[in-house]
């Protein structure tokens, strides 16, 4: 982080924490506005669900606690906003488990390609004891500085590019694909025959337009509602990753809250997890319809076995470390 940005954030942190610190009974009733960030645009399921959480929080506390949402990367990309959340300048952040993995290694288990059979399988994991156990690992990590409140759906990730429709694994060869900055994803893309390029989400659209990358991989709503579909007309349903999102709270700010306020936030976050899922299913269909109407070519992949076989080196490299948890996740009915 650049020095002037850190100074600016530190100044913001001072005022944010001052509003949260319960120095006296009177001060404890002071109004606090939690700054929330999301790289996705207004109306996106994760943004809408977090905003609704804020409305419920405000109602439940008679206006004492509320949320101000900053969507569309207003406060930076995921890496930058994680840093701001760690120091308390942002209190509430929705971030991909793909970005959390390099910070909390235990979370990388859900970043393994083709780990989940389908979305229903991933949702059962998120809703059950394994999902809570993984959230707790984020919270317990002393270096992360984050409190993990809940999971949110992000669908299945597929490949899109500016060059050609990908109908078989051979079509990936030589193409430069943006991936989240996580070694697992770089190795995955290289194993598939492409060239994995780590890049912040905030840079993808311009990189597609200028040819710095040939394509990227993401879910249909991200593809469409971040306007990537206007530059990359070929969308192939490889569904190689199902990476959940995580809603986190700044641990530095969290410790200033009363136990009752913490429990209220946990309760509302659980409701947000299920609400976002419903919003997601509707939004994903809208995205696919919009892409088709714009003339994008949506390619179904009838046989994913060659793709699954190609990423075996990734499993050989990273899988043994997470073997026990992988077996538990795969056993979720």
**CA 125, CA 127: separation in Å to the nearest integer?**
6
Helix or strand run (H / E) with residue 95:
strand 92-96
| Domain 157-242+285-330 = CATH 3.40.190.170 | yes
Q: What is the mean pLDDT of residues 253-269?
A: 98
| Residue 78 predicted with pLDDT over 80 | yes
pLDDT tens-digit series, residues 198-254: 999 999 999 999 999 999 999 999 999 999 999 999 999 999 999 999 999 999 999
Phi and psi of 142, rounded to 5°? -65, -30
Q: Tell the CATH superfamily of the 3-20+30-153+244-281 domain.
A: Bacterial extracellular solute-binding protein, family 7 (3.40.190.170)
Supply the pLDDT for residue 7.
37
* Pick from 116, 112, 140: nearest CA to 320: 112
E runs forming strands in 137-288: 146-152, 157-161, 176-179, 195-198, 215-218, 234-241, 245-250
- Pinpoint the residues of the chain covered by CATH 3.40.190.170: 3-20+30-153+244-281, 157-242+285-330
**CA 126, CA 131: separation in Å to the nearest integer?**
4
pLDDT tens-digit series, residues 147-162: 999 999 999 999 999 9
Phi and psi of 217, rounded to 5°? -135, 130
| Residue 8 predicted with pLDDT over 90 | no
């Amino acid at each position: 982080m650049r020095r002037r940005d850190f100074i600016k954030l530190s100044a913001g942190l001072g005022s944010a924490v001052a509003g949260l610190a319960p120095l006296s009974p009177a001060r404890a009733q002071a109004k606090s506005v939690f700054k929330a960030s999301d790289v996705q645009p207004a109306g996106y399921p994760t943004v809408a669900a977090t905003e609704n959480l804020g409305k419920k929080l405000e109602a439940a506390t008679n206006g004492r606690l509320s949320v101000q949402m900053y969507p569309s990367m207003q406060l930076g990309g995921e890496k930058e906003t994680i840093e701001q959340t760690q120091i308390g300048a942002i209190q509430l952040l929705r971030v991909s488990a793909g970005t959390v993995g390099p910070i909390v290694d235990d979370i990388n288990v859900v970043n393994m390609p083709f780990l989940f059979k389908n979305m229903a399988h991933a949702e059962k994991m998120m809703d059950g004891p394994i999902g809570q156990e993984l959230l707790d690992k984020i919270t317990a990590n002393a270096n992360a500085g984050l409190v993990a409140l809940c999971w949110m759906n992000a669908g299945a990730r597929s490949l899109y590019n500016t060059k050609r429709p990908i109908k078989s694994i051979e079509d990936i060869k030589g193409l430069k694909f943006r991936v989240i900055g996580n070694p697992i994803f770089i190795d995955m893309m290289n194993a598939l025959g492409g060239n994995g390029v780590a890049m912040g989400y905030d840079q993808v659209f311009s990189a597609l337009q200028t040819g710095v990358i040939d394509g990227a991989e993401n879910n249909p709503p991200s593809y469409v509602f971040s306007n990537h579909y206007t530059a990359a007309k070929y969308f192939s349903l490889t569904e190689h990753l199902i990476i959940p999102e995580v809603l986190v709270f700044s641990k530095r700010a969290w410790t200033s809250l009363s136990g009752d306020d913490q429990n209220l936030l946990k309760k509302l976050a659980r409701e947000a997890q299920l609400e976002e899922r419903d919003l997601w299913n509707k939004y994903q269909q809208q995205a696919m319809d919009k892409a088709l109407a714009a003339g994008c070519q949506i390619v179904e992949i009838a046989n994913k076995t060659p793709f699954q076989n190609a990423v075996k080196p990734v499993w050989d490299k990273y899988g043994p470390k997470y073997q026990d948890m992988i077996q538990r996740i795969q056993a979720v009915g």
